[in-house]
Amino acid sequence: METYVILRREGWRTAEELREAAARSATEEGRVPDDVRWIRSYVIAEPAGGLGTLCVYQASSPEAIRRHAFAAGLPVDEIVQVADTMVVRPDPVPAAA
């Protein structure tokens, strides 16, 4: 398993859509624990309106990430492999759940 950062730009129009997507993502990820593990996501307010996310996943391959995305109905714009993690401070507390 490697760690990857996934960019999903302009994937959703509303927070509600994003929440539904998150639920689907969790369900699909649960089916294939050896393939993908969702670590965390950062939500992006897109300049053109709408929402995107930057997600951190562990996965067995980039193809596993794409398979999961297809099953859950999520866009995949870019996948970047993470070589190492440097945590300087903990994540800011989210404003809302």
Partner 1 sequence: MIVAVHPAAERLLERDGPLAHLRAALADAGAGCGRVVLVTGEAGIGKTALLRQLCAQEPACMPALWGCCEALFTPRPLGPLIDVAFATGAPVANAVERGTPHEIARALLVELGQRAPGVLVLDDVHWADEATLDVVRLIGRRIEEAAALVVVVYRDDELHRSHPLRIVLGELARRPGVTRLKLEPLSPDAVAALAEPYGADPVELFRITEGNPFFVTEALAARGTSLPETVRDAVLARAAHLREPARALLDAIAVVPQPVELSLLETVAGETDEELEECLGSGILVAQPRAVAFRHELARRAIESAQPPDLNLRLHRAMLTALAASPAGEADPARLAHHAEQAGDAEAVQLYAPRAAEAAAARGAHREAAAQYARAVRFADALPSEQLARLLERRSFECYLTDQFEQAIEAQRRAVEVYRELGDVRSQGAALCSYAKRVWCAGNTAGATQACWDAIELLGRLPRGRELAQAYGVASSMCMNDEDAEGTVAWGTRAIALAEELGDAEALLYTLNNVGTMQLLRGERAGIEALDRSLRLAEEAGLEDHVGRAYIHFAWVLARNRDYALEDRLRAGLDYCSEHGLDLWWLYLQTYRARSLLDRGRWDEGADLLEMVLGNPRDAVLLRTLALAGLGLLRARRGDPGAAEPLDDARRLATAAGELSATFAVALALAETAWLSGRQETVATATEHAYRLALDKHAAWVAGELACWRRRAGLDDEAPAGAAEPFALELAGRWEDAALRWSTLGCPYDAALALAGSGDVQSLRRARDELLRLGARPAAAIVSRRLRHRGVKGLRRGPLAATRANQGLTARELEVLRLVAEGLQNGDIARRLFLSPRTVDHHVSAILRKLDAKTRGQASATAARLGLLEHR
Are the CB atoms for 7 and 69 separated by under 8 Å? no
| Backbone phi, psi, residue 32, to 5° | -130, 65
Which CB, 49 or 94, lies closer to partner 1? 49
Rounded to a whole number of angstroms, the minimum distance from the CB of residue 37 to partner 1 is: 17
Which CB, 42 or 77, lies closer to partner 1? 77
Residue 4 binds partner 1, judged by CB under 8 A? yes
Q: Quick one: CA dihedral 96, 46, 6, 88, positive or negative? A: negative
State how far the Cα of 84 lies from the Cα of 97, in Å rounded to an integer. Answer: 28
Per the document, the length of the chain is: 97
Are the CB atoms for 65 and 79 separated by under 8 Å? yes
27-66 footprint of partner 1 as x/- string (CB under 8 A): x--------------------x------------xxx--x
Residues that bind partner 1 (CB under 8 A): 2, 4, 9-11, 13, 17, 20-21, 24, 27, 48, 61-63, 66-67, 70-81
